Chain A
């Protein structure tokens, strides 16, 4: 039997101290991902430091009209919060599109950002996998990869980040607040996940023992008209095969502000900067939307069985922007 220690932290400093410098210790949020991975033998922590009862569950409005979401706020509370729904609808919709009611009740904001990929080779310890055991190879490349990355992947790993929540957040310039042993730090979510490169096992820029304390959504008027759409292989309880979070502002027929992020296409929630660049200042309309989609997807490197994601994402970008352009109150 794999035995492990369990401690429940009551404050942030205590949590960090409990984790100490033990590289085999893990924070435990709702446990909906970590405990599954422990059962599968993918994770074998020596110690769990339960942070789910830390006083970090609050969701508060900031002076600039933004929001601070505490890292232990449950996914359900985030999705139901009136200020999230009103000011950042794409975030609320993204959370609601994930997992199931029961899972969202216990899953935390911090745990959601740090959930691991659903690549079936990663979760099966009888198979090689560079992300799980560096240097063993990537069987997904020639094997089952219909829901793997088309953007930003590497020869070493083509896994996607599965979170819906993170896609909504990255579109709206969210920042992650972190407590490390040498003090607090704030990291734009767009820079939070490392490029895959040759080290797919290192997923974030967090230092050892870093605790996520919260997420800050800056006050962004355009966010109030943001939307999220998720495409999946069944109507609920499935990860995205493609998703999009976007917001659009048009003045006198010209795009003056735009935010687009894509999900299920890369190792991280993918901010579609190339598409945004094409759109800014462009005359609003189907042509511009298609150009933007093409600009973003020009870098796509589809494989044998995930090539459908290119037309899928193109269609999602175009239809989402068209809907936003037609929506009242833009």
Chain B
């Protein structure tokens, strides 16, 4: 046994509570809608009440006559914007209405109540056009997109899938679907904009202040340095705050026109049409195998929808590109543009719906081959990433399954469906694999040695409730080789420079990389005898070159999901009794917040399996259940004990050794539950969510 020298600090790996936890639970941490500002005015969005057409006229006189009303912005008088590569932000620019809920005007008044009352008095007449809002894989407008989110290949082909399927001993050919799901973070989007000292000052709820700054600068034709965006505390995002959203553009517009601070906060209902959601998907999966369960063909074709405003194609079929050794492998995407709000990122875009289809199909294959589902996955472990042939930096999926099966008590499982009973409940167990890419992008950071002996780190990171601020403090403390108490990490401020946004499970690795570089540089200077001047000694890092130079490896997190469910066939109710998730996620910086992320992801997967579904009305083109009473997410009572742990997964391609774990928890969770429902009842559920009516009619 080796003992650590006392001088080597090891903050990384400590289970620390959130640094800002006390501020949050005592209400002192301010969220975007809570900052006071002298002379603050409030904007209220007037949403379109048709799904497609044009605004013929807007009558604003009655609204303007109301007390407190300062202005009504609409396409006839709003400032012109420059396209920043995201047409969902080009609001109030013309008379076109691309979907229900699109902003057609913004009322600004001295109180939010006045603005809302005035918004209700604005009379908009439309030239309505027939709309097309119903998604299906058979839609005549379906096309092959140029790429899928964010910039990945639409299709990959390896070998002859059709020939391999024709020759296979066993074939599964099944179609799966997932519905329109909404991120619904707890904190609604809010932005406050004002001009001060020649700069556009913005406080916004987002997942990346730097990206929002860049968008605003382009939209308003400003020098980027003239825009300052802050987002110190953010109440969740799940992707819905990944980049700028229309509320911040409207706030900046109004602040510019009125030359006073303006706040625009979305209502929960507005969030259903303005900030993105997960597209519905239809997925055909064909799997061919020999009698021993070795895959000879895997074919995954995914359909999804986008809007007519901006093409966004969910990368649903990329899951199969990394998962299994199949002789022939094809992955492909189709998309159709409808008169609907634009779908965007929602926790594990691509992998979350894609894993449901592939991991369900594998369970069907295990059933047909008479092979244990865990064993089936072990038999199809690839040596290199199947679609690209790239070597893995590390791949510990098998270890996850071994450990997960042990903890769950999988051994000796009776594979027969529909034979276990507890009163009126049929019981079953299921499993599924999970993966999520472990990418890293360039970021910048500074580390400052202060004259008082403390250290300040500045990085435009974002803590959307994940514990990022705390994890980054741990990383910085170790890199500086000082105790945690001497390090202060400042985030959520675009003036700190370019950095990755909080998304794609990219944060800790990308930010941690830059922070480590900056801290090491500072440490070297200090160790070399540099003296700290009164205003501090600062080292700066930009990881662009180092990220560019990283080896071309397949770098992914992996996981094994297990679930036990109870199903009442007479009522259609499904209850999850327990879940176990074992993950290989590289180095874990903070076990406490890491566990929360993984448990949260699995909970969201449960919610996806059983509850979440936005229902679009075909007549209006509006989400009917557009609030949290109608859009069901799992409640505490739905969530059973969830056991989460991780296996050793040393992978030091990047300095932090992390792989990211914000998203992988949701991947595979719905498939494990659906597979367990099959095991309980003998009925396959290929359409999510597994609602009582579907169980009753299965």
One of B116, B424, B629 near A118 (C-beta < 8 A): B629
B221 at the interface (CB under 8 A from A): no
B contact residues, total (Cβ < 8 Å): 36
B570 CB–A CB distance under 8 Å: yes
Q: With an 8 A cutoff between CB atoms, is A237 at the interface?
A: yes
State whether B619 touches A139 (Cβ < 8 A): yes
Of the candidates B626, B629, B697, the one whose C-beta lies within 8 Å of that of A308 is B697
Tell me, yes or no, whether A120 is within 8 Å of chain B by CB: yes
Contact indicator A1/B624 (Cβ below 8 Å): no
- B624/A312 in contact, CB under 8 A: no
A222-236 Cβ-contact flags toward B at 8 Å (1 or 0): 000000000101111
Could you tell me if A144 and B632 are in contact, using CB atoms closer than 8 angstroms? no
CB <8 Å contact, B571 and A316: yes
Binary flags per residue of A299-319, CB closer than 8 Å to B gives 1, else 0: 000000100100110011011
Residues of chain A within 8 A of B575, CB atoms compared: 235
Name the B residues within 8 Å of A236 (CB-CB).
635-638
Judge whether A146 is part of the interface by a CB distance below 8 angstroms: yes
- Chain B residues near A126 (CB-CB < 8 A): 49, 622
Q: Which B residues from 676 to 698 make CB contacts under 8 A with A?
A: 691-693, 696-697
* Interface assignment of A238: CB less than 8 Å from any CB of chain B: yes
Q: Does B625 contact A (CB under 8 A)?
A: yes
Would you list which residues of chain B between 647 and 698 have a CB under 8 Å from chain A? 691-693, 696-697
Chain B residues contacting A238 (CB-CB under 8 Å) are 632, 635
- Among A2, A118, A120, residue most surrounded by chain B Cβ atoms (within 10 Å): A120
Mask for B605-628, Cβ within 8 A of A = 1, else 0?
A: 000001100010111101011100
**In whole angstroms, how far apart are the Cα atoms of A312 and B617 in the complex?**
25
Given A2-B117, A233-B611, A236-B637, do A146 and B572 touch, yes or no (CB 8 Å)? no
With A236-B635, A308-B572 given, is the CB distance from A127 to B693 under 8 Å? Answer: no
Indicate whether A41 reaches chain B with its CB closer than 8 angstroms: yes
B636 adjacent to A234 (CB under 8 Å): no
Question: In the complex, which of the residues B573, B634, B696 has the most CB atoms of chain A within 10 Å of its own CB atom?
Answer: B696
Q: Which of B624, B634, B635 contacts A144 (CB 8 A)?
A: B624
A231 touches B573 (CB 8 A): yes
Identify the closest chain A residue to B424 (Cβ).
Answer: A319
Given contacts A41-B120, A308-B572, A315-B571, contact A233 B696 (CB under 8 A): no
Q: Which residues of B contact A318 (CB under 8 A)?
A: 570
Complex contact A146–B693 (CB within 8 A): yes
Contacting B at CB under 8 A, from A213-250, are 231, 233-238, 241-242
Q: Is B114 an interface residue (CB 8 A)?
A: yes
- With A126-B49, A142-B619 in contact, do A233 and B632 touch (Cβ < 8 Å)? yes
A75-131 at interface with B (beta carbon < 8 Å):
118, 120-121, 124, 126-127
Interface presence of B113 (CB below 8 A):
yes
Contact A143 B572 (CB under 8 A): no
Instruction: Please report the C-alpha to C-alpha distance between residue A316 and residue B570 in the assembled complex, in whole angstroms.
Output: 7
What is the CA–CA distance of A272 and B575 in the complex, to the nearest angstrom? 29
**How far is B611's CA from A143's CA once the two chains are assembled, in angstroms?**
20
A143 and B572 alpha carbons, distance in the complex (Å): 23
B521 to chain A, nearest CB (A): 52
B636 touches A139 (CB 8 A): no
B76: interface (CB < 8 Å)? no
Q: A1-B113, A143-B619 are in contact. Are A235 and B624 (CB under 8 A)?
A: no
A229–B262 alpha-carbon span in the complex (Å): 50
Would you give the shortest CB distance from A262 to chain B, in whole angstroms? Answer: 13
- Which of B615, B624, B632 has the largest count of A CB atoms less than 10 A from its CB? B624
Q: Is the CB of B49 within 8 A of A233?
A: no
Min C-beta distance of B267 to chain A, whole Å: 10
Q: How far, in angstroms, from A311 to B697 measured CA to CA in the complex?
A: 9
Our pick among B49, B624, B632, B693 for the contact of A143 (Cβ within 8 Å) is: B624
Query: Is B13 part of the binding interface, using a Cβ–Cβ cutoff of 8 Å?
Result: no
Contact string, B21-34, partner A, CB cutoff 8 A, digits 1/0?
A: 00000000000000
Query: Is B630 part of the binding interface, using a Cβ–Cβ cutoff of 8 Å?
Result: yes
Task: Check if A234 sits within 8 Å of B638, measured CB to CB.
Answer: yes
A41–B691 CA distance with the chains assembled, in angstroms: 31
Complex CA–CA separation, A330 to B609 (angstroms):
40
Q: A234-B611, A316-B571 are in contact. Are A120 and B625 (CB under 8 A)?
A: yes
**Once the chains bind, are A231 and B572 in contact (CB under 8 Å)?**
yes
Q: A139-B617, A144-B624, A319-B424 are in contact. Are A234 and B692 (CB under 8 A)?
A: no
Chain A residues within an 8 Å CB radius of B120: 41
Q: Which residue of B lies closest to A308 (CB)?
A: B693
B696 proximity list for chain A (CB < 8 A): 308, 311-312, 315
Q: Which residues of A contact B620 (CB under 8 A)?
A: 127, 139, 143
CB-based contact B117/A241 at 8 Å: no
Query: A197: shortest Cβ distance to chain B, in Å?
Result: 25
State whether A144 touches B615 (Cβ < 8 A): yes
| Shortest Cβ distance from B115 into A: residue | A1
Judge whether A234 and B632 touch: CB under 8 Å. yes
With A143-B617, A233-B692, A234-B632 known as contacts, the answer to whether A312 contacts B571 (CB < 8 A) is yes
A127 CA to B610 CA, complexed, in Å: 28
Segment 1-47 of A: residues with Cβ below 8 Å from B = 1-2, 41
Contacts of A121 on B, CB cut-off 8 Å? Answer: 624
Minimum distance in angstroms from B24 CB to a CB of chain A: 21
Question: Nearest-CB distance from B350 to chain A (Å)?
Answer: 26
> Nearest-CB distance from A259 to chain B (Å)?
21
Measured CB to CB, the closest approach of chain A to B621, in angstroms, equals 11
The answer to whether B572 and A235 have CB atoms under 8 Å apart is no
Nearest-neighbour CB distance to chain B for A321, whole angstroms, equals: 13
Given contacts A143-B618, A308-B697, A311-B696, contact A237 B635 (CB under 8 A): yes
Q: Which of A2, A120, A127, A315 contacts B630 (CB 8 A)?
A: A120
Q: What residues on A are CB-neighbors of B626 within 8 Å?
A: 124
Please indicate the chain B residues that have their CB under 8 angstroms from the CB of A142 in the complex: 619
Interface 0/1 of B99-134, CB less than 8 Å to A: 000000000000001101100100000000000000
Across the interface, do B117 and A233 meet the contact criterion of CB distance under 8 Å?
A: no
- Whether A231 and B630, one on each chain, are in contact in the complex, defined by CB atoms closer than 8 angstroms, is no
Q: With both chains docked as a complex, state the minimum distance between the C-beta of A269 and any C-beta of chain B, in angstroms.
A: 19
Chain B residues within 8 Å of A231, by CB: 571-573, 692
Note all chain B residues with C-beta closer than 8 A to A305: 693
A305 CA to B697 CA, complexed, in Å? 12
Q: Smallest CB–CB gap between B683 and chain A, Å?
A: 14
Of the candidates A120, A234, A237, the one whose C-beta lies within 8 Å of that of B624 is A120
Assembly CA distance A144 to B630 (angstroms): 12
- The chain A residue with its CB closest to the CB of B269 is A124
- On whether the beta carbons of A144 and B617 are closer than 8 Å, the reply is yes
A312 touches B692 (CB 8 A): yes
CA distance A241 to B611 in the complex (A): 14
B637 cross-chain contacts in A, Cβ below 8 A: 234-237
* Interchain CA distance A144-B620 in the complex, whole Å: 11
Question: How far, in whole Å, are A263 and B120 apart by their CA atoms in the complex?
Answer: 36
What CA separation (Å) do A237 and B632 show in the bound complex? Answer: 9
List of A residues within 8 angstroms of B573 by Cβ: 231
* Chain A residues whose CB sits within 8 angstroms of the CB of B424 once the complex forms: 319
CA of A308 to CA of B697, assembled, Å: 7
Bound Cα distance from A241 to B693, whole angstroms: 10
Bound state CA distance, A124 and B625, in angstroms? 10
Task: Say how far B390's CB is from chain A's closest CB, in angstroms.
Answer: 42
Residue numbers in B under 8 Å from A308 (CB-CB)? 572, 692-693, 696-697
Which residues from chain B contact A120 at a C-beta distance below 8 Å?
Answer: 624-625, 630
- Nearest 5 A-B pairs (CB), nearest first? A308-B693, A235-B637, A315-B570, A236-B637, A144-B624
Question: Can you report 27 residue pairs joining A to B where beta carbons are below 8 Å apart?
Answer: A1-B116, A120-B625, A120-B630, A124-B626, A143-B617, A143-B620, A143-B624, A144-B624, A231-B572, A231-B573, A233-B611, A233-B632, A233-B692, A234-B611, A234-B632, A235-B637, A236-B638, A237-B635, A237-B637, A238-B632, A242-B571, A305-B693, A308-B692, A311-B696, A312-B572, A312-B696, A316-B571
Give 18 new A-B contacts, CB below 8 A, not counting A143-B624, A234-B637.
Answer: A1-B114, A2-B117, A120-B624, A124-B624, A143-B618, A143-B619, A144-B624, A144-B625, A233-B692, A236-B638, A238-B632, A238-B635, A308-B696, A308-B697, A312-B571, A312-B572, A312-B693, A315-B571
